[in-house]
Amino acid sequence: MAAKTLKIDGRQVSAAEDTTVLDAAAEAGIRIPTLCHLEGVYDAGACRLCLVEVAGTAKLLPACTTLVAEGMEVVTQSDRLRRYRRMTLELLLAERNHVCAVCVANGHCELQSLASEHGIDHVRYDYRFPRWGVDATHPRFGLDHNRCILCTRCVRVCWHIEGAGTKNVAGRGAKSFIIDDLNQPWGDSESCTSCGKCVLACPTGALFDRGSTVGEMERDRTKLEFIVNAREKKQWIVSE
């Protein structure tokens, strides 16, 4: 496979030709913020946090779905990108009911830590305070729509790693929400194998192990990578 040479934030980087800009940057130790990206499943390009500037293109491109090209010049940090990322995070914080103080994922939440990283000390948009419920019908797991950011990681792991196809999205716009099967209680789902991969994948406190209380939902994402490596590369590597 041919290698490509490109510049990311002024640094010379080389990457295999089918590599995404996100992976090439990560390999070079350059971290681009993401929320919907999850190692092991295909990318949705939905959260728009990984947008980067590419010389010669007026449009901002999502690093997770843009492939490297020879001579490409990528900028991952600029005032403009930082402003956009900050606003996008603010929009998410105002969209549903993210009450960090009483959340199972407090301290282990990707939305919370990205907001912190981006210096968000308050949200300028009006909080929407929508009314969403909690699905606590499954014996082991719960789904709190109030904390969902619709990244669809759970949907993608359910379809593409577990293969059960239980989770999906219903509705549209701000009224979209995660469903099980044909929008029935999770506990009644016949396709769900209770594998818990969706819970491992969730970046916030939306999906949780029942019985966990504030700050207790820590997730071990390496398990997902382990399964993907095992299946696709036939490598059974247990990371430390």
Partner 1 sequence: MEGTMQGDDLAAIAEKHQGSRRKYCLRTCMSAGCMSSRADAIKKGLDAEVKAQGLEGEVEVRRVGCMGFCGLGPLVGLDGMKEREILFEHVTPEDAPAIIRAVQAKDHGLQVADPDHPFFSKQMRVVRANGGIIDPERIEDYVAANGYRALYHVLTDIRPAEVVEEITRSGLRGRGGAGFPTGLKWGTVAKSPGARKFVVCNGDEGDPGAYMDRSILESDPHLVLEGMAIAAYAVGADQGFLYVRAEYPLAISRLQTAIRQAKQLGLLGGGIFETPFTFNVDIRIGAGAFVCGEETALMASVEGRRGTPRPRPPFPAERGLWGCPTLINNVETFANIVPIINRGAAWYAGIGTERSKGTKVFALTGKVQNNGLIEVPMGITLRQIVEEMGGGAIGGAKVKAVQTGGPSGGCIPAEYLDTSVDYESLTKLGSIMGSGGMVVMDDSTNMVEIARFYMDFCRDESCGKCIPCRAGTVQMFELLEKILSRKATARDIAMLEELCDLVKHTSLCGLGQTAPNPVLSTLRFFRNEYTELLQPEPAGECAASGQ
Partner 2 sequence: MDRLRIATAWFGGCAGCHMSFLDLDEFLIELAGKADLVFSPVIDVKEYPENVDVCLVEGAICNHDNLELLHRIRKRTKVLVSFGDCAVTGNVPAIRNQLGPRNVENVLQCAYIDNAQDNPRLPRSEGIVPELLERVRPVHEIVPVEVFLPGCPPSAGKIKELLERVLAGLPPRVDGDEPRFG
Give the pair of three-digit tokens for residue 130: 């929508």
Phi, psi of 81 (to 5 degrees): -65, -40
Q: Taking CB under 8 A as the rule, does residue 131 contact partner 1?
A: no
Q: Taking CB under 8 A as the rule, does residue 174 contact partner 1?
A: yes
Q: Taking CB under 8 A as the rule, does residue 218 contact partner 2?
A: no
Distance between CA atoms of residues 7 and 118, nearest Å: 24
Supply the minimum distance, in Å, between the C-beta of residue 69 and partner 1: 11
Say how far residue 111 (Cα) sits from the centre of its chain.
Answer: 9
Give the pair of three-digit tokens for residue 8: 């990311």
Contact with partner 1 (CB under 8 A): which of 11, 31, 82, 128? 128
Distance between CA atoms of residues 20 and 8, nearest Å: 12
Supply the minimum distance, in Å, between the C-beta of residue 108 and partner 1: 21
Distance between CA atoms of residues 128 and 12, nearest Å: 44
Distance between CA atoms of residues 143 and 190, nearest Å: 17
Residue 60's beta-bridge partner residues? Answer: none
Q: Taking CB under 8 A as the rule, does residue 103 contact partner 2?
A: yes
Q: Taking CB under 8 A as the rule, does residue 106 contact partner 2?
A: yes
* Crossing angle (nearest 10°) for helices 110-117 and 79-95: 140
Q: Taking CB under 8 A as the rule, does residue 99 contact partner 2?
A: yes
Q: Taking CB under 8 A as the rule, does residue 175 contact partner 2?
A: no
Supply the minimum distance, in Å, between the C-beta of residue 120 and partner 2: 7
Tokens 């059960």 label which residue?
Answer: 164
Interaction residues for partner 2, span 107-126 (CB under 8 A):
107, 109, 112-113, 115-117, 119-123, 126
Contact with partner 1 (CB under 8 A): which of 30, 51, 164, 206? 51
Distance between CA atoms of residues 72 and 49, nearest Å: 20
CB of 117 or CB of 188, closer to partner 2: 117
Supply the minimum distance, in Å, between the C-beta of residue 46 and partner 1: 5
Q: Taking CB under 8 A as the rule, does residue 69 contact partner 1?
A: no
Q: Taking CB under 8 A as the rule, does residue 1 contact partner 2?
A: no
Which of 94, 104, 96, 92 shows the shortest CA–CA distance to 35?
92
Supply the minimum distance, in Å, between the C-beta of residue 130 and partner 1: 10
Q: Taking CB under 8 A as the rule, does residue 101 contact partner 2?
A: yes
